Amino acid sequence: MTQTPSNPEKPKAKRKGKSLPPTLIIRLGKFVWTTMWRVMMSNLAPRSKSGEYIRPSSQFRNFISTEEKNPYQPEAGRYRLYVGMSCPWAHRTLVVRALKGLEDAIAVSIVSPLDSGWALDQPEAEIRTLADLYQLGEPGYSGRSTVPVLWDTQTQTTVNNESADIIVMLNSEFNAIAHHPTLDLYPKDLKEKIDEWNEKIYHSVNNGVYRCGFAQTQEAYDVACEQLFTTLDEIDAILEKNRYLCGDRPTLADVRLFTTLFRFDVAYYGLFKCNRRRIQDYKNLGAYLRDLYQLPGVADICDQKSIKRDYYGNLFPLNPGGIIPSGPDLTNLSEPHGREMLGKAGEALVS
């Protein structure tokens, strides 16, 4: 009988390899993530050598008009708008469509982000994505498939995909079939002033928030952020005495500014690092936003849920976790704005 030793020798534990120092792990992780972030951002947002975001130009710039030789004539039921509810550029077209009373004349199709493109919420025949639509209008098209799109259902072609052009057409070329034909958001006597505001607001505010959010260097961000809030401060001062940007009646300049302001506290303030001040913290800009929001039909086409879902849920390089914030509370947009005393011409729109 073999006796088992009372104190058998325990097997020696395997020697563990040396772990990397925490500081080295952090540095390595930072290097890998920064490299990946730059690659992702370069695909998401084209940049200059200094790291500044450069917005690509629109490629379809045809116009609808009653000119005899123009192939695109204004007709009820002929055209369709393709829009993303989160997109401020597409939102402009919906605002003008509502203010002019063109809901019955121009149909709308909604698209939502899908991977790197847009997909139709309700597929239409062979069209399931926005890329499909662009290909249908121009076979072999290899450019960006962006919203908004003004589509001609008769010729099956893209008329225009530049929001600044589309809102001008909606304002003036469909008056014969609009419910509010006398409303002119781009009057001749204010055209020069409207154009000046549009140029300033586009660079420093409309595109300025993207220049902040998509900046790829600290210097590019600092410049964009300074220009953004300098312009917002200037506008706030102007609105001390003017109900709207160009006086006592709303214009296309107000429409173009409104869709950025509506998204500001929801997305740009946090996600795009535009956090010096919220719009609702401005004395005049906050009330001005409420004024525009309360124009007939506008509140119905303001979709905060889609904005938060698409910005926080789809811009991965800016929000890798994909967590969507619960706020802010926008019920204050329905509160009295108190700006009626600054002008009388806008009363017909807010009555």
Residues recognised as catalytic: 87, 210
Within 10 angstroms of residue 103's Cβ, the number of other Cβ atoms is: 16
The structure tokens 């008769």 sit at 154
Within 10 angstroms of residue 343's Cβ, the number of other Cβ atoms is: 16
- Provide the 8-state DSSP code for 156: T
Longest dimension (CA), the chain: 115
Give pairs for 154-157: CB < 8 Å, separation 24+: 154/75, 154/78, 155/71
Torsion of Cα atoms, 225 then 231 then 236 then 240, to 10° = 160
Integer CA distances (angstroms), 299 to 91, 245, 290, 293, 330, in order:
11, 20, 10, 6, 11
Q: And the tokens for 130?
A: 């926005």
* Residue 150 burial (C-beta neighbours within 10 Å; 0-12, 13-18, 19+): buried
Phi, psi (degrees; rounded to nearest 5) at 144: -75, 140
